[in-house]
Amino acid sequence: MKLKFSLSLLSAILWGNLVSAQSVNSPDGRIVFHLETNDGLHYSVKRDGKTVIEASRIAISLGDGKRVGFSTMVEAENVEQLDESWKPVVNGRFSIIRNRCNERIFHCVENGPDRVKFDLVVRVFDEGAAFRILWPKQKTLNQFRIMEELLEFRLPEDNQAWVINHKKFGSGQESFYNKHPIREVPVEGLYGLPLLAQNEDTTVAITEAALVNYGAMFFEKTGANKFRTRLARRDAETLPVVGQLPYSSPWRVIMIAGEPVKLLENTMLLNLNEPCEIEDPSWIEPGMMAWDHWWSGNVKMDTETILSYIDLAAEMGWEYQLIDWQWYGPFNRDSADITTVNPTVDMEQVRNYAADKGVKLWLWLHSNDVDRNDAYLDAFPLYQSWGIVGVKIDFMDRADQEMVNWYHKIVKYAARHHLMVNFHGAYAPTGWRRTYPNLLTREGVFGNEHNRGGSKTTPSHKCALAFTRNLLGEMDFTPGGFLNRTPETFEVRARPTQVIGTRAQELALFVVYESPLTCVCDRPENILGQDGADFLKIVPTVWDETVGLIGEIGEYIAVAKRSGDQWYLGAINNEIARSIEIPLTFLETGNWKATFWKDGDEGPESILKENATVSGEQSLSIPIRDSGGMVAVFERM
**DSSP conformation letters of 112-132:** SSS--EEEEEEEEETTEEEEE
3 state DSSP class of 372: helix
Contact predicate 242/145, CB 8 Å? yes
Q: Is the pLDDT of residue 14 over 60?
A: no
> Using one digit for the tens of pLDDT, what is the confidence trace for 174-198?
999 999 999 999 999 999 999 999 9
Domain boundaries of the chain, sorted by first residue: 2-271, 283-443, 445-515+539-637
The confidence score (pLDDT) of residue 501 equals 97
Dist. CA 157–CA 51, nearest whole Å: 11
The confidence score (pLDDT) of residue 75 equals 78
Q: Is the pLDDT of residue 270 over 60?
A: yes
Contact predicate 88/61, CB 8 Å? no
The confidence score (pLDDT) of residue 113 equals 87
Give the lowest-confidence range in 72-86, 306-320, 472-486, 608-622: 72-86
The confidence score (pLDDT) of residue 16 equals 40
CATH superfamily membership of 283-443: Aldolase class I (3.20.20.70)
Q: Is the pLDDT of residue 173 over 90?
A: yes
- For residue 381, whether the previous peptide bond is cis, meaning omega lies within 30 degrees of 0, is no
The residue-averaged pLDDT of 239-257 equals 97
Q: At 7, is the pLDDT very low, low, confident or very high (cuts 50, 70, 90)?
A: very low
Task: State the helix-helix crossing angle for 347-357 and 303-316, rounded to 10 degrees.
Answer: 10
The confidence score (pLDDT) of residue 216 equals 98
Contact predicate 186/227, CB 8 Å? no
Q: Give the angle 113-118-120 at the CA atoms, nearest 5°.
A: 140
Task: Round to the nearest angstrom and report the end-to-end CA distance of the chain.
Answer: 32
The confidence score (pLDDT) of residue 1 equals 37
Where do runs of H (alpha helix) occur along 190-338?
268-271, 303-316
Dist. CA 118–CA 115, nearest whole Å: 10
> Using one digit for the tens of pLDDT, what is the confidence trace for 522-538?
999 999 999 999 999 99
- In three state form, how does the secondary structure of 379-398 look? HHHHHHHHCCCEEEEECCCC
Beta strands in 150-233 (DSSP E): 152-154, 160-164, 177-181, 195-198, 203-209, 217-223, 226-231
Give the lowest-confidence range in 132-136, 138-142, 239-243, 454-458: 454-458
Q: Is the pLDDT of residue 10 over 50?
A: no
The confidence score (pLDDT) of residue 144 equals 93
The confidence score (pLDDT) of residue 231 equals 98
Q: At 454, is the pLDDT very low, low, confident or very high (cuts 50, 70, 90)?
A: confident
Give the lowest-confidence range in 6-15, 351-360, 367-376, 562-571: 6-15
Contact predicate 123/130, CB 8 Å? yes
CATH number for region 2-271: 2.70.98.10
The residue-averaged pLDDT of 490-500 equals 86
The confidence score (pLDDT) of residue 297 equals 55
The confidence score (pLDDT) of residue 64 equals 82
Q: What is the dihedral of CA 187, 189, 195, 201, to 10 degrees?
A: -30
The confidence score (pLDDT) of residue 18 equals 58
Query: Are 2-271 and 283-443 the same fold in CATH?
Result: no
* Average pLDDT value over all residues in the chain: 94
Q: Is the pLDDT of residue 543 over 90?
A: yes
Question: What are the beta bridge partners of residue 371?
Answer: none
Give the lowest-confidence range in 191-200, 216-225, 383-392, 495-504: 495-504
The confidence score (pLDDT) of residue 13 equals 35
The confidence score (pLDDT) of residue 294 equals 74
Residues contacting 289, CB < 8 A, separation 6+: 313, 318, 319, 320, 321, 322, 362, 517, 518, 519, 520
* Of the candidates 516, 444, 468, 48, the residue with the CA atom closest to the CA atom of residue 255: 468
Q: What share of the chain is helix, strand, coil (3-state, %, to 5)?
A: 20, 35, 45
Contact predicate 484/527, CB 8 Å? no
* Of the candidates 268, 250, 132, the residue with the CA atom closest to the CA atom of residue 204: 268
Dist. CA 183–CA 300, nearest whole Å: 49
For residue 621, the one-letter residue type is S
* Of the candidates 259, 196, 205, the residue with the CA atom closest to the CA atom of residue 558: 259
Q: At 273, is the pLDDT very low, low, confident or very high (cuts 50, 70, 90)?
A: very high
Beta strands in 199-279 (DSSP E): 203-209, 217-223, 226-231, 241-243, 247-248, 251-257
To which H or E segment does residue 275 belong?
none
Percent of the chain whose predicted confidence (pLDDT) is above 70: 96
Dist. CA 462–CA 468, nearest whole Å: 10
Give the lowest-confidence range in 1-15, 40-54, 230-244, 305-319: 1-15
For residue 232, the one-letter residue type is A
> Using one digit for the tens of pLDDT, what is the confidence trace for 301-343?
999 999 999 999 999 999 999 999 999 999 999 999 999 999 9
Contact predicate 43/54, CB 8 Å? no
| CA-based torsion, 37, 39, 41, 44: positive or negative | negative
* Of the candidates 38, 79, 80, 43, the residue with the CA atom closest to the CA atom of residue 58: 43
> Using one digit for the tens of pLDDT, what is the confidence trace for 18-40?
567 799 999 999 999 999 998 89
The confidence score (pLDDT) of residue 174 equals 95
* Of the candidates 22, 131, 137, the residue with the CA atom closest to the CA atom of residue 76: 22
| Burial of residue 402, with CB atoms counted within 10 A of its CB: 0-12 exposed, 13-18 middle, 19 or more buried | middle
Classify each residue of 230-242 as buried b or exposed e, where b means 16 or more C-beta atoms within 10 Å of its C-beta.
bbbbbeeeebbbb
For residue 381, which phi and psi values (nearest 5 degrees)? Answer: -60, -35
Contact predicate 155/144, CB 8 Å? no
CATH number for region 445-515+539-637: 3.20.20.70
| CA-based torsion, 222, 227, 228, 231: positive or negative | positive
Dist. CA 169–CA 183, nearest whole Å: 24
> Using one digit for the tens of pLDDT, what is the confidence trace for 143-164?
899 999 999 999 999 999 999 9
Dist. CA 386–CA 394, nearest whole Å: 21
The confidence score (pLDDT) of residue 492 equals 86
To which H or E segment does residue 77 belong?
strand 72-86
